[in-house]
Amino acid sequence: MMPNTLVAPQHMTKFEENLLARFAYFNRAPQGRLYRRPEYTWFSTDITFPSYVFNIILQAQFRSMNSAYRQVDAIVEDCQTRRIPLFWCTGPSTRPVNLGCHLEEHNFKHAMRGQGMTMALDRMKKDIHPVHDFTVERVQTPQQLAQFVNVLAANANMPDPIAKVWYDFELALGFDPYWPRQRYLGIWQGKPIATSTIMAGAGVAGLCHVATLPEGRGQGIATAISKVALEDAYRLGYRTGVLLSTPMGVNVYKRLGFQTVEEHDIYFWNDLD
């Protein structure tokens, strides 16, 4: 790949700006590389497991359809050479607006339509019922981090060797209560059961990595761990929360007070045969 050049993307929403901030933060880990190009931004690793955390085009604003054709070709060729799958996020700032159609012509599959949601944190609903025998810890030690990664890895059906790579990736990012990204671990009946993170960037707090293991679902745990993380962000001075919800998670976030303001489509390429 060519060396980085940076041209700031135009007309991005707060969620899109926060997403870029999150992966710029991930770029601190030696396993990751954030490639900023004049017309797109790509976070990449050499990890072959299909997860958006490892390989994703975060934004693209191609100047013309011809430019889109050429550069998508080049991106796919690079992935084929390195034998890595790729996710691609499109949203309100994506240009051309029909880029998804072109991605499908390159054997990308439409993986998900996500809801971009936002909420004023001082209006977060207070009448959230507590979950019995459930506590939330901010991740501050390697042991807690191992439990945090294990929950996420199990939720994603991730093999143990890849989970170890992810642990090393997260460990390289370190721990500090005042750094912009904070991790949270939910403990239910003495067992690590849920996770969430907050990423402060672009003036907002981005909620992400909300996951609950199957045996803990339906108990209000996802709502509870999200609420704790967002309250932390509010105490640190952030007044707006943003997130990208899967279809399954929308009702969880609506219970907290989030509202949908935009849509994002996620595409997935894994044509390595």
58 and 145 fall within a common domain: no
27 and 69 fall within a common domain: yes
Q: Return the CATH number at 41.
A: 3.40.630
- 175 torsion bin: left (phi>0), alpha (psi -120 to 50), beta (else): beta
Q: How far apart are CA 171 and CA 206, in angstroms?
A: 20
Domain count, the chain: 2
160 and 251 fall within a common domain: yes
Q: How far apart are CA 85 and CA 111, in angstroms?
A: 13
Q: pLDDT by residue (tens digit) across 52-81?
A: 999 999 999 999 999 999 999 999 999 999
User: Please, what sign has the CA dihedral across residues 58, 64, 69, 70?
Assistant: negative
* Residue stretches of the chain with pLDDT short of 70: 1-10
Residues in the chain: 273
Strands 181-188 vs 259-269: parallel, antiparallel or unpaired: unpaired
58 and 102 fall within a common domain: yes
CA dihedral 214, 219, 225, 226 (to 10 degrees): 100
CA dihedral 44, 49, 53, 57 (to 10 degrees): 50
Q: What is the pLDDT of residue 15?
A: 96
109 and 126 fall within a common domain: no
136 and 39 fall within a common domain: no
Q: What is the pLDDT of residue 247?
A: 93
On whether the CB atoms of residues 95 and 60 are closer than 8 A, the answer is: yes
Q: What is the pLDDT of residue 249?
A: 94
173 and 80 fall within a common domain: no
234 and 136 fall within a common domain: yes
Question: Helix or strand or coil: residue 92?
Answer: coil
Q: What is the pLDDT of residue 9?
A: 58
> What is the token pair recorded at 216?
């803990």
254 and 130 fall within a common domain: yes
pTM recorded for the entire structure: 0.93
Q: State percent of the chain over pLDDT 70.
A: 96
Q: Return the CATH number at 136.
A: 3.40.630.30
Q: How far apart are CA 18 and CA 91, in angstroms?
A: 13
Residue-range definition of the domain harbouring residue 66? 14-114+265-269
Q: What is the pLDDT of residue 52?
A: 95
Question: Helix or strand or coil: residue 115?
Answer: strand
Q: For 93, phi and psi rounded to 5 degrees? A: -90, -5
